[in-house]
Amino acid sequence: MKFVLEVDMSDGAVAADAAKELGRILRYWAGNVRHYELRPGDESAIHDSDHRDVGRWRIVEAS
């Protein structure tokens, strides 16, 4: 399995301060990931500090 995290850094709060926003996103999901079974097909939207959808994380089968 693979954990895939994709964040669009071209707009919004992430574009304005990428290091700050990516750090916030990673801290949030590091604490929140325990609420998921982490099986292939699990996924969730990722939001910036302005609550805009900027990406997704997902669990996929390894290729």
Q: Degrees (nearest 5) of the Cα angle 45, 30, 21?
A: 65
Q: What domain count does the chain have?
A: 1
Tens-digit pLDDT profile for residues 13-55:
999 999 999 999 999 988 888 999 999 999 999 999 999 999 9
**Residue showing tokens 């954990």:** 3
Domain containing 20: what range? 2-60
Q: What's the pLDDT score for residue 16?
A: 95
Residue 21 burial by CB count (10 A; 0-12/13-18/19+): exposed, middle or buried?
buried
Whole-prediction pTM:
0.82
